[in-house]
Amino acid sequence: MKRGAVRYPTWVDVLEAQGEQREDLILRMVRAMTLRQKIRQMAGRMHVWEMLVSVFRYNFRPFRAGEDRKLGLPPLRFTDGPRGVALNRSTCFPVSMARGATWDVDLEERVSEAMAVEARSQGADFFGGVCVNLLRHPGWGRAQETFGEDPYLLGEMGAAMVRGAQRHLMACVKHFACNSIEESRFYVDVRVDERTLREVYLPHFRRCVEEGAAAVMSAYNRVNGQYCAHNAHLLRDILKGEWGFRGLVMSDFVLGTRDTVRAALGGLDVEMPQAWYFGRKLLRAVRRGKVPETVVDEAVTRILRQKARFARLGEEDYGPHRVACSEHADLALEAARKGVVLLKNEGGTLPLRLGELSKLAVVGRLADLPNIGDHGSSRVRPPYVVTVLQGLRNRGGKSLEIVYRDGRDVAEAREAAGSSDACVVVVGLSARDEGEAMPGPVKVGGDREDLSLRPQDVRLLEEVAAVNSRCVVVLEGGSAVLTAGWRDRVGAILMAWYPGMEGGNAVADVIFGLVNPSGKLPVTFPEDNDQLPPFNKKARSVEYDYYHGYRLFDKRGLRPAFPFGFGLSYTTYEYRSLNIGAEEIEADGSLLVEAEVANVGPLAGEEVVQLYVGYPASEVDRPVKELKGFARIRLEPGESKRVSFTLRAKDLAYYDPESHRWVVEKTAYDVYVGASSAPEDLPLRGSFRVV
Ligand code: BGC
């Protein structure tokens, strides 16, 4: 080295440093990089042959971005989730909506960690599995990829995913923001007022950012006129500014970025999966002074910061033996069991006791279909799928005769049901009916403007229910379906969602009473389509109101078919004695809410205890109540437990768009604890004041 020449830090220097020193070395390294080198960090890079292969086999290998051999900088290696790793033959877990129905944060963390291990074992280090878009309307085609309609539940489940995944790799939280119509996703403009945005559509993203998420993916749609990848209000003011996000923002894929200067100024750091608007165009824009170089420096600093943070993380033992291993299959089974929701069980139709049953009819085309979710980017191709029929056979054993009819011939199905001790009908949705709409010659996926079952399915279940009073309907699908009209004719209804590769075993466990159902709905099931906000899947522009889901039902005093948070069990829980830790707290204070829950029935089980808060004396319009806590507990017969929640006054604030501030009102608050959001399921009530 010449005397007096400055030695710039290398990537190895960066990796060896920690904390402030590392940050300083990154800044110095960025300063020393050429503009070309910096801009190379800011976009994905696909060869033409990779693009071609992708048309036939999407996610066939990780998408790479920002490799620089000269500087020793590794690429980001991105792959999709969220129901497992989209590469090769990975474990297929139940979809996020099914896991949302578990309300089990600890389980979610374990599931996510397993996915991350599988991703690392297959050469990826960047996981796009944390989808937390709020389900404004259950007809959203990608409902299955998210955890439901409630910001608090979404935030807690998303944060659990971030925690689990980030023990091994970078997690990407998506799609920021207001992405909840599939078919118009490339152009729809979501108009939303500031208060609704802050209180309804963003809190769960914030929660994931607070958990330390490495990356956020901008959504395809526009919000208040600006594409999300160009949206400085979302990306710069809120995410990077107010929330102090230190990670990187990447675009959603093809058509996720539309303009070089707008994207760079708006706060996008990485264009994926290819440099269509960044790359050479960005170089030109910087040289012409349209994008200040400091903007590029900021983006590259963010990218290098996350690459360094995760470079040496994880374990030694990644490898093919960790992919779809038996341990992960067990986890998929646990998640599927806990996510099944028992919606109706008249006269103890369920469980069907194995010893008391000699012949079982299984009916419906979905009963023997590997039905694990859509065929979009989140598609997972597991080594096997246990269908409901297979699961019933596995668990039923040799002494149970099972007759299967796919239901195309209704008379035949009716005959089988009529001559059996009980009948299981599997109906609902599949990848043909809903999901991510991938471009291509054959239409797949898309939204559902009407939540009804197909008329053939309704006819089938009515016909078999007419000849067998022990008729169990198993519903599959990514979110709510309508049950009015046929619900009263059947004995029991189970919502199984898309339950993953072990799903059939889990459903059979619940049907035969080997597992006590404990799932609770993460989305309101309406009585009819008209109870919901308007939903036009081709909308160019749409207004996202303050009210949706149970908040809307509460406000309008509507009765859904099955409320948010609802799910039955084979045992009975009693809610007793609420204790609110203080009558008054300060605006920066918190209090403890405790409730006792007892299992007064004959079987062990798990219950999801829910805490809601209401604002009876607010000066602004507020929901009747909002979920502010939940806990899943296990109770043996006769056992009771005290469940405690910490409520922070600041979490009860509303957003005041005039002052741009969160306001904790000094007023009275109502507390409700119980088994679902329905008023009759919330027996424990009390109140406190913020002073
Ligand atoms: C989807 C994203 C996905 C990306 C990469 C997009 O079409 O909207 O969720 O992560 O593709 O596959």
Q: 130 with 161: CB under 8 angstroms?
A: yes
Instruction: For residue 550, report the phi and psi dihedrals to the nearest 5 degrees.
Output: -65, -25
CB atoms within 10 A of CB 112: 29
The protein residue whose alpha carbon is closest to atom 12 in ligand 1 is 377
Mean pLDDT computed over 124-130: 98
Read off the pTM. 0.98
pLDDT at residue 7 in the model: 83
Q: pLDDT per residue over 64-98, tens digit each?
A: 999 999 999 999 999 999 999 999 999 999 999 99
DSSP for 200-254 reads IISHHHHHHHHTT-SEEEEPSSEETTEEGGG-HIIIIIIIIIIT---SEEE--ST
* pLDDT reading at 492 higher than 60: yes
Sequence ranges of the chain with CATH classification 3.40.50.1700: 331-556
Q: 168 with 526: CB under 8 angstroms?
A: no
Of 4-13, 275-284, 400-409, the one with minimum mean pLDDT is 4-13
Residues with CB under 6 Å of ligand 1 are 80, 128, 174, 252-253, 377
Is 252 noted as a catalytic residue in this protein? yes
The catalytically annotated residue of 104, 252, 269, 433 is: 252
CA distance 297 to 554: 49
CA distance 354 to 217: 48
Instruction: Report the chain's mean pLDDT, rounded to a whole number.
Output: 97
The protein residue whose alpha carbon is closest to atom 4 in ligand 1 is 253
Q: 116 with 167: CB under 8 angstroms?
A: yes
- Provide the 3-class DSSP secondary structure of residue 133: coil
CA distance 598 to 607: 10
Q: pLDDT per residue over 208-247, tens digit each?
A: 999 999 999 999 999 999 999 999 999 999 999 999 999 9
Which CA distances in Å does 336 have to 104, 163, 349? 12, 21, 21
pLDDT at residue 440 in the model: 67
Sequence ranges of the chain with CATH classification 3.20.20.300: 2-320
Sequence ranges of the chain with CATH classification 2.60.40.10: 573-690
Ligand 1 centroid, distance to 216 Cα (angstroms): 12
pLDDT at residue 420 in the model: 98
Third-level CATH fold of 2-320: TIM Barrel (3.20.20)
Q: Which atom of ligand 1 is nearest to the CA of 272?
A: 5
Give the single-character DSSP code of 581.
S
CA distance 337 to 355: 22
Burial of 660 (0-12, 13-18, 19+ CB in 10 A): exposed
Q: 62 with 77: CB under 8 angstroms?
A: yes
Q: pLDDT per residue over 138-148, tens digit each?
A: 999 999 999 99
Q: Which helix (H) or strand (E) holds 84?
A: none
pLDDT at residue 686 in the model: 98
Q: 110 with 161: CB under 8 angstroms?
A: no
Q: 506 with 352: CB under 8 angstroms?
A: no
Diameter of the chain measured on Cα atoms: 95
Instruction: For residue 302, report the phi and psi dihedrals to the nearest 5 degrees.
Output: -60, -45
HSE value, Cβ hemisphere, 13 Å, CA-based, for 294 = 0
* pLDDT reading at 443 higher than 90: no
Q: Which atom of ligand 1 is nearest to the CA of 128?
A: 10
Instruction: Tell me what percent of the residues of the chain surpass a pLDDT of 90.
Output: 97
Q: 230 with 262: CB under 8 angstroms?
A: yes
* pLDDT reading at 1 higher than 60: no
Going by pLDDT thresholds of 50, 70 and 90, the confidence category of residue 441 is low
Ligand 1 centroid, distance to 220 Cα (angstroms): 9
Going by pLDDT thresholds of 50, 70 and 90, the confidence category of residue 315 is confident
Mean pLDDT computed over 582-592: 98
* pLDDT reading at 4 higher than 70: no
* Adjacency order of strands within the sheet including 584-585: 584-585, 684-690, 668-674, 605-614, 626-635
Ligand 1 centroid, distance to 203 Cα (angstroms): 22
pLDDT at residue 193 in the model: 98
CATH architecture of the domain formed by 331-556: 3-Layer(aba) Sandwich (3.40)
Ligand 1 centroid, distance to 62 Cα (angstroms): 13
Q: Which atom of ligand 1 is nearest to the CA of 254?
A: 7
Mutate to test the pocket of ligand 1, among 51, 61, 80 (most ligand atoms within 8 A of CB): 80
Ligand 1 centroid, distance to 390 Cα (angstroms): 32
Mean pLDDT computed over 379-396: 98
pLDDT at residue 470 in the model: 97
Instruction: For residue 233, report the phi and psi dihedrals to the nearest 5 degrees.
Output: -65, -45
Task: Return the structure tokens found at 473.
Answer: 């309907």
Third-level CATH fold of 573-690: Immunoglobulin-like (2.60.40)
* pLDDT reading at 151 higher than 60: yes
Closest Cα to residue 408, out of 457, 371, 349?
Answer: 457
Alpha helix locations (H) across 228-322? Answer: 232, 260-266, 280-287, 293-311
Going by pLDDT thresholds of 50, 70 and 90, the confidence category of residue 438 is confident
CA distance 94 to 113: 15
